[in-house]
Each structure stands twice: as C-alpha cells, then as structure tokens.
C-alpha cells in the first residue's frame, strides 16, 4: 500500500500505524512561504487537504473536529461575545462559531493559501466567511496575541496544525501567558490537543504549560476523528476561573444543525475517562 500512487497514506512510524485514503486524483500541490498545501480527491471521503503531507481535513469527517472545537467551549462560557480563532484557515471552526449569537470572530491564520484552497474545495465550510461579524486576517497568530489588548476577548480557539513548523510556538507557556492576558476574567481558551491515545506526553506537557500560565481549571474532552492518527482526538479547555457548568438548556435543543455535537455528547465528554485520569493524572470534572 505504501508508495502506491492511488492511495494517500499518513504513516506514524513511532506507533507502527498509518491511515490511508484511496484517491481518485491529486488536484494540486502549492508551496506557500510557510508550508506545502495539497488537495486530493478521494474515492469515498470527498476532498482531502494535507499540509506538509499531514492530513488536515476531509469533506467526510471534518464536522467531528470542528463541532467539538467550538460548541463545547461556546456553551461553557456564560456569555461569549468576542471570539478569536488562531489558525483555522479552512474556516470550518469559524462556521460553527458563527452559529452562536456572538458579536465578533477574528480569525488569524498565518497562511492565506489554506483559505484560498478551502474556498475552492471546501466551500461548505466557507459559507459564512462574509458574515459581517467575521474578520479574516492572514498573519502570525503568536504576534497578534502579543499585540492584542489586555482583557478584550471572551474565547480563544487554537485550531492549529501539529506542534511542528509554524504551529510549534502555539504549544508553550509563553503563548498561553499571552492568551491569559488577552482573555477577560471569565475567558476561556480551547486548543486542539492531539490524540489522547498516542500523544499523551504532549497532552501532559500542554496542560502543565497552561497551568504554569495561571489557567486555573482545565478540561480535556475527546472525540472520534477517523482521519487523524489513532482515530481519536482531543481538545483542552482552560479557564482563568473554575469552569462553569455548560449552558445545558441552550445545548439541549439542537438548533445549531450539528451532525455530532449534542447535549448528551457534551455531558458525556465531562465524564473523566479512567485511562486519562490514571495515565495522565488528569482531573476532569
């Protein structure tokens, strides 16, 4: 299967695993100043976007990740009005956030190429890009955060690539300290935190760095994501104060037209997973 041109394979040599998609065609490959972005048409998963040969999203299953990166944190904050997305250039998270009655969403992705290709091959994710509440910036998210006004944002969503290349600086204490400063008192940060099965050390380090940056309360939630390594992914929510209970009444009725997120999924995500408690020493509530 490896090196077969009709399959795209992302191999994980550390774990002796790989995930393959059969492809009809490689549509394009473009080298931006930051990374190599490619689009494939697959036989069954729709379009596939890769960055530096790592799978970012497919038409078929991206809803799982984008819904879980947005709705749990938006329903946890008591009254989210101003949201920032760092990364997220394919606009899938932006589209989900805009389903909420927020006043503004600023998305800062370093690479305009990602959004250009998403507009072409994932138009369903970009359908809200012209919403007057949305601002799309193409610049360095770390720098943007350093220059942002103190106490001005309710929710920061870090929808990044893996912690290598341009995204490396989004996974450390210095970045989290800036996020802490920019958030209002009841502000929340959520970051994609890789696989709870095969990236446990990264999860531990990330949570440790968030705590060192003074975030008081952390919650790691997990969800299926077939195209990512191990098929199981996570997001970590960090609160400046103790995380409030999520707004159950609003989450109960699925007015958001989601395909995965619902009240019961959110509630189940709050239940500590024994493996994560034991292996990572997590303290989910």
Annotated binding-site residue numbers: 35, 66, 90, 109, 140-141, 159-162, 166
By the 8 A CB rule, do 72 and 64 touch? no
Any contact of residue 54 with ligand SPD (CB under 6 A)?
A: yes
Identify the residue among 38, 39, 57, 73 touching ligand SPD (CB under 6 A).
57
What does the per-residue mask of binding to ligand SPD show for 73-112, with x meaning CB under 6 A?
---------------x-x-xx-------------------
Q: Which is nearer to ligand SPD, 72 or 92 (CB)?
A: 92
Which of 35, 70, 192, 220 forms a contact with ligand SPD (CB under 6 A)? 192
Q: How far is CA 213 from CA 20, 174, 177, 198, 249, in A?
A: 38, 8, 5, 25, 32
Phi, psi angles (nearest 5°) of residue 227: -85, -5
Two tokens at 231? Answer: 């098929």
Known catalytic residue at 159: yes
228 binds ligand SPD (CB under 6 A): yes
Q: Could you say which of 67, 96, 154, 162 contacts ligand SPD (CB under 6 A)? A: 162
Comparing CB distances to ligand SPD, the nearer of 176 and 240 is 176
Q: Token digits for 282?
A: 């997590």
- In the set 103, 159, 205, 214, the catalytic residue is 159
- Taking the least distance from each CB to ligand SPD, the nearer of 54 and 202 is 54
Task: Quickly list DSSP for 173-229.
Answer: HHHHHHHHHHEEEEEEEEEE---TTT-HHHHHHHHHHHHHTT--EEEEEEEE-TTSG
Tell me which stretch binds ligand SPD (CB under 6 A): 22-30, 149-157, 158-166, 196-204: 158-166
Which region among 15-23, 51-59, 213-221, 259-267 touches ligand SPD (by CB under 6 A)?
51-59
Angle at alpha carbon of residue 273, lines to 270 and 274, rounded to 5°: 145
Please, what is the minimum distance in Å from the beta carbon of residue 222 to ligand SPD?
Answer: 14
CA dist 25 and 83 (Å) reads 37
Q: Name residue, tokens 């689009």.
A: 39
Q: Which helix (H) or strand (E) holds 252?
A: helix 248-252
Active-site annotation, residues: 159
Contacting positions for ligand SPD (CB under 6 A) = 54, 56-57, 65, 88, 90, 92-93, 159, 161-162, 192, 228
């Amino acid at each position: 299967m490896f090196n077969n041109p009709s399959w795209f394979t992302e191999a994980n040599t550390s774990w002796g695993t790989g995930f393959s998609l059969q492809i009809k065609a490689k549509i394009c490959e473009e080298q931006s100043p930051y990374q190599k972005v490619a689009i494939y048409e697959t036989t069954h998963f729709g379009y596939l976007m890769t960055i530096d040969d790592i799978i970012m999203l497919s038409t078929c299953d991206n809803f799982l990740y984008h819904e879980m990166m947005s709705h749990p944190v938006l329903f946890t904050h008591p009254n989210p009005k101003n949201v920032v997305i760092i990364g997220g250039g394919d606009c899938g998270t932006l589209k989900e956030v805009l389903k909420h009655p927020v006043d503004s969403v600023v998305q800062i992705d370093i690479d305009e190429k990602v959004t250009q290709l998403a507009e072409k091959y994932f138009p369903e994710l970009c359908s809200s890009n012209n919403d007057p509440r949305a601002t799309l910036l193409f610049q360095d998210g770390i720098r943007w955060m350093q220059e942002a006004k103190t106490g001005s944002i309710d929710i920061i969503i870090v929808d990044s690539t893996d912690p290598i290349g341009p995204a490396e600086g989004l996974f450390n204490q210095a970045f989290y300290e800036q996020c802490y400063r920019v958030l209002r008192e009841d502000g929340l940060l959520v970051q994609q935190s890789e696989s709870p099965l095969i990236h446990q050390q990264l999860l531990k380090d990330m949570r440790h760095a968030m705590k060192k940056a003074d975030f008081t309360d952390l919650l790691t939630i997990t969800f299926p994501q077939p195209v990512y390594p191990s098929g199981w992914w996570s997001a970590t929510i960090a609160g400046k104060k103790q995380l409030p209970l999520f707004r159950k009444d609003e989450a109960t009725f699925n007015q958001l037209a989601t395909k995965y997120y619902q009240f019961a999924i959110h509630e189940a995500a709050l239940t500590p997973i024994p493996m994560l408690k034991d292996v990572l020493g997590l303290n989910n509530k």
